[in-house]
Amino acid sequence: MFSYFLTIFGGLVFLLLVSAFRILREYERGVIFMLGRFDRVKGPGLIIVIPFIQQMVRVDLRTVVMDVPTQDVISRDNVSVKVNAVVYFRVIEPDKAIIQVENFYDATSQLAQTTLRSVLGQHELDEMLAERDRLNLDIQTILDQQTDAWGIKVSLVEIKQVDLDENMVRAIAKQAEAERVRRAKIIHAEGEMQAAEKLLGAAVILAQQPQAIQLRYLQTLTEIAGDKSTTIVFPLPIDLLKQK
């Protein structure tokens, strides 16, 4: 009987010894608590945790890719849009990530959602569509400042998509079409103006040189004569018959 208890006792001691050894990967750290109080951060590699006296919480230091759920945003010009984004962050201080906030992933997700709505709500729709890089940087800066107390570094924020309702899409398409027509008319008007200026200059030069007018007249006759399928009666200016 004694040997039986001895065997059981030896097995329990062996299990305790085995459970005291922990292996942490290169990207992992262990936050150690001694009787409920923070002791230190250990890892990576082989570490020893005293059973019943110490507890360890694993923390992953790799970059986390977090999708921000689609948010309903009202722009500064009162346009309702749906926006989603992605946030890249990682834990740089494991002790703060465990002690300062209950669940750092959920806390960062909620903060990203509220920050996304707050920042985009301060801008007009055209800015959301055309200045995403600047808006991404603004959101990333605010998130990074807010999560610094949790030992988290937000490295990048990207707005993935800005969705509009069908009525707004049609309105934007009409606006873009009107803008293209306006630009085309302006370009055409500028071309007409430049052509008129050139013609005026040519008229001034021809008026100063009568021989140039005669040469132009003869050139026009030559060009018309090249078309043999048409018979043209062209008046001959008397000026051409005059000799100076």
CA distance 142 to 201: 62
Is pLDDT at 70 greater than 90 in this prediction? yes
Domain 64-164, what fold? Tetrahydropterin Synthase; Chain A (3.30.479)
pLDDT tens for each residue of 93-106 = 999 999 999 999 99
Measure the N-to-C terminal CA separation of the chain; round to a whole number of Å: 148
For the cut 80, the answer to whether the pLDDT of residue 64 exceeds it is yes
For the chain, give the mean pLDDT.
83
pLDDT attached to residue 143:
96
Give the per-residue pLDDT at 217: 62
pLDDT at 152: 96
Residue with the two structure tokens 């009162």: 78
- How many helical (H) and strand (E) elements, i.e. helices and strands, does the chain have? 7, 8
pLDDT digits (tens, 9 = 90+) for 19-32: 788 999 999 999 99
d(Cα 84, Cα 33) in Å, to the nearest integer?
A: 38
pTM of the model: 0.68
Query: In this structure, are residues 104 and 59 in contact, taking their beta carbons and an 8 Å threshold?
Result: no
pLDDT at residue 149, rounded to an integer: 95
Query: What residue type is 120 in one-letter code?
Result: L
pLDDT greater than 90 at residue 229: no
